[in-house]
């Protein structure tokens, strides 16, 4: 299995995330767990749960994405099935959420460490989000 095959992620991961919100002038920290698990249809469920710290207050956060294979390769979708971006570790990807634009990269740093970075710009949003995933 290639290092770019998302099935290499199957299992439990720890994540640490920093969100720099340039509009609000604040930095948020998020820490938690990510589970990648194969579904009966072959899709990979990407489940995040953690705690965001904002102004000293801890707030539970969750998110679910899916990795789906099609004739062109793997794609990341939202939990409701909407397309997010192609799965292309090492390459820049974009997602238009009009009127905002998301530009991101997913990088394999080692077998047990990945980086996910998003820069989001638009009239309603201006932030960077950097996450490090590590196998516990």
Tens-digit pLDDT profile for residues 2-58? 658 999 999 999 999 999 999 999 999 999 999 999 999 999 999 999 999 998 999
Which contiguous run of DSSP H or E holds residue 109?
strand 100-110
CB 69 within 8 A of CB 42: yes
Cis-peptide, bond into residue 28, ω within 30° of zero:
no
User: What is the CATH classification number for the domain harbouring 19?
Assistant: 2.40.128.20
132 pLDDT above the threshold of 90: yes
Residue 81 carries which DSSP code?
S
The number of folded domains in the chain is: 1
Residues 1, 47: Cα–Cα separation, whole Å: 22
3-state helix, strand, coil in the chain (%, to 5): 5, 70, 30
- 47 found inside a domain: yes
- pLDDT, tens digit (0-9, with 9 covering 90-100), for 65-114: 999 999 989 999 999 999 999 999 999 999 999 999 999 999 999 999 99
- 1 found inside a domain: no
- What does pTM read for this prediction? 0.92
What is the pLDDT at residue 4? 83
- 124 found inside a domain: yes
Nearby residues of 53 by Cβ (< 8 Å), 6 or more positions away: 28, 29, 30, 59
- 12 found inside a domain: yes
Containing domain of residue 115, as a range?
A: 6-134
What is the pLDDT at residue 1? 58
């Amino acid at each position: 299995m290639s290092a770019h095959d998302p099935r290499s992620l199957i299992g439990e991961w720890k994540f640490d995330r920093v969100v720099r919100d340039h509009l609000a002038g604040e930095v948020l920290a998020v820490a938690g767990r990510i589970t990648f698990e194969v579904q009966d249809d072959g899709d990979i469920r990407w489940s995040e749960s953690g705690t965001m710290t904002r102004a000293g207050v801890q707030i539970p956060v969750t998110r679910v994405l899916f990795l789906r294979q099609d004739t062109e390769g793997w794609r990341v979708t939202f939990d409701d099935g909407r397309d997010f971006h192609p799965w292309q570790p090492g390459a820049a990807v974009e997602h238009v959420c009009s009127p905002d634009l998301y530009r991101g990269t997913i990088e394999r740093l080692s077998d047990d460490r990945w980086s996910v970075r998003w820069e989001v710009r638009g009239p309603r949003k201006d932030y960077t989000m950097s996450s490090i995933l590590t196998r516990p």
